[in-house]
Amino acid sequence: MSGLPQLVHGVLSYGVMALGMGLVLRGVRLFCAEPLEWNWVALIVAVPLALAGYFSVVDPSLRARLSVSGFYFGALCWLCAATLLRHADWRGVGISALGFAMLGLALCARGAYLVLYPLPPPGQGALLLDASLLATALAQVCVAFGMVMMVTRRYAVQLRRLSTLDPLTGALNRSALEQQGGRIAARTLHGGRSLSVVMIDADHFKQINDTHGHPVGDEVLRHLTRLLRLELRPLDLLARYGGEEFVLVLDGINLAEAGGVAERLRDKVAQALVAIDGHAIRYTVSVGVVCSDEHGYDLLRLIAVGDAAMYAAKRAGRNQVVCL
């Protein structure tokens, strides 16, 4: 029993600290979409346990135990900082990364001091050791505050994403189309470029739902979205306007060029086969195309005229492209 306090203080306490650091590192890597397996966490715990056990039982040395643990835990802190900076937006993780870096520096400086100089007498702390304790406390505050900011920022991004995207297809929703499309319209007007709007509607979509069920209909919409995305350039927009109706906003493309894009899309859809749950579905689309050269840069007006062109394509027999 007499050896129990030394065992707890000299060995197990390092295992508890290592477990904490291992869990922190695992959490950081999960946040960065880079999972850390539990066997690595176990290894992180086992290393300081072995080192502390050696310098407590086999070759007792408080100075060696403190210095080695300082370097070890400092390296883990730097690994956390490097993971954040390597895999995440630095503006969202900067404070936490700085905190981990400061904490690692303080721990390594403490370890280096203990290697170079003897332990000070009890009650007479060395200046570097006192400074390292202060830096450690400040760094822990930075880490804690930064992690709160990281999680808050992540949730804000997710909420913003949910508020702008259609949950079924991942395309922009109608409100996001009006906001972002309005900016594109202003940008093209200012730059003197053409702006084209392509309205796409899946033909006989209600019949697909009634015949094959809504899950098949949902897969048709997702399939159509994937085909539409293939035509997008970095400055273009894709939105689900409602039901089975989609909108492409094309920056810098005139009516003839947009008509070519629409015809290529129509042909791809007509030749595609959607396979789901034993069903093999073919479908077509009707497409309306308009351009700012003929109708101005007001996005809502372009959408309205494009909608009329799309319904003209339906009246013409569907699986058509009409340009106005």
Tell me which of 144, 164, 184 is where a domain ends. 164
- Ramachandran assignment for 124, one of left (phi > 0), alpha (psi -120 to 50 degrees), beta (any other): beta
CB-based burial of residue 276 (10 Å sphere; 0-12 exposed, 13-18 middle, 19+ buried)? middle
Same domain, 153 and 266: no
Would residue 125 count as lying in a domain? yes
Would residue 49 count as lying in a domain? yes
Same domain, 19 and 144: yes
Would residue 221 count as lying in a domain? yes
How many distinct structural domains can be found in the chain? 2
Quick: pLDDT tens for 131-170.
Answer: 777 777 788 888 888 888 888 777 777 777 677 888 899 8
pLDDT for 247? 96
- Boundaries of domain holding 250: 174-323
Same domain, 127 and 205: no
Would residue 223 count as lying in a domain? yes
Q: Which residues are catalytic?
A: 244
Q: Comparing C-alpha atoms, which of 287, 285, 229, 300 is closest to residue 258?
A: 287
Quick: pLDDT tens for 54-75.
Answer: 888 888 888 888 899 899 999 9
Would residue 181 count as lying in a domain? yes
Query: Does residue 223 surpass a pLDDT of 60?
Result: yes
Mean pLDDT of 162-179: 87
Mean pLDDT of 289-309: 94
Query: Does residue 193 surpass a pLDDT of 50?
Result: yes
Quick: pLDDT tens for 224-239.
Answer: 999 999 988 888 999 9
What 8-state DSSP symbol labels residue 119? P
Look up the CATH number of the domain holding residue 224. 3.30.70.270
Q: Which residues pair with 248 in a beta bridge?
A: 198, 238
pLDDT for 2? 45
pLDDT for 198? 96
pLDDT for 54? 87
Would residue 169 count as lying in a domain? no
